[in-house]
Amino acid sequence: MNNRSWAVYPMAMAFTLLAHLPAYAQGTNEVARLETATSVLHEIDRIPEKSIPPALLHHAQGVAVIPNVIKVGFIIGGRTGKGVLVVRRPNGRFSDPVFIRITGGSLGWQAGVQSTDVVLVFKTRRSIEGLMHGTFTLGVGASVAAGPVGRNAEAATNAQLKAEIFSYSRSRGLFAGVALDGSKLDVDQAADAALYGPGLTAEDIIAGRASHVPAAAAGFTREVQAAQSGH
């Protein structure tokens, strides 16, 4: 095998794994994705010293949960995952969830597979509007910082105060932590259509125009509402 083959082979292997791992980890069922996201948020909230501060969620403009974000790497790495997002409506309540995807890549000497549950807390409407209008790059479209934890924690550092999005992760596997700068978010329109029916945009779902909201979708919104109240 020549030198070029050795360079191309790891890249091909990494993205072959990316093509198959998300389907195995998350399945294709939108209800299952909602149930998993609800479970992730519930489990994080059950550990007070590691939970997202309710006061932070109380002022959040949006909350996204992306379970089982898969990161695969061998020299060339990649990241992919599917999750859900709720947005605060003018009445103060959170919307029905819309489906989103996260993708990204990295370059470096790395090997292994990491599965991470990711929670994103959006502080501003600008970040959400950027996502609604196309692919949105974390760290470019909006600054991202690791969020404070604990029921009584406060976002006190300069880095946190300037961030538009707070990130949280629960990691397993061969990598330590999660790096989100450069990751891209976009709306999973096919998943939205599969759950709510065709013809609805993400903005329609957020505005409450879906004629039928499955129990799993309503359950996720309730879990976010409960988390912001500290229950």
pLDDT bracket for residue 10 (50, 70, 90): very low
Over the stretch 187-219, which tens digit does the pLDDT of each residue have?
Answer: 999 999 999 999 999 999 999 999 999 999 999
Asked if residues 186 and 198 have their Cβ atoms less than 8 Å apart, the reply is no
- Cα distance between residue 60 and residue 182, in whole Å: 22
Mean pLDDT for all residues in the chain? 78
Asked if residues 167 and 118 have their Cβ atoms less than 8 Å apart, the reply is yes
Q: What is the pTM of this model?
A: 0.79
**Which of these, 67, 9, 8, lies nearest to 38 by C-alpha position?**
67
β-partners of residue 166 are: 121, 145
- Cα distance between residue 124 and residue 116, in whole Å: 24
Interior CA angle at 195 toward 193 and 199, to 5°? 30
pLDDT bracket for residue 169 (50, 70, 90): confident
The whole-number pLDDT of residue 19 equals: 46
- Cα distance between residue 166 and residue 159, in whole Å: 10
Amino acid at residue number 213: V
* Lookup result for tokens 């599969």: 194
- Cα distance between residue 61 and residue 164, in whole Å: 10
pLDDT bracket for residue 62 (50, 70, 90): very high
Cβ neighbourhood burial of 142 (10 Å; 0-12, 13-18, 19+) = buried
Is the Cα dihedral 189, 93, 180, 22 positive or negative? Answer: negative
- Tally Cβ neighbours within 10 Å of residue 85: 29
Over the stretch 98-121, which tens digit does the pLDDT of each residue have?
Answer: 999 998 866 555 556 667 888 999
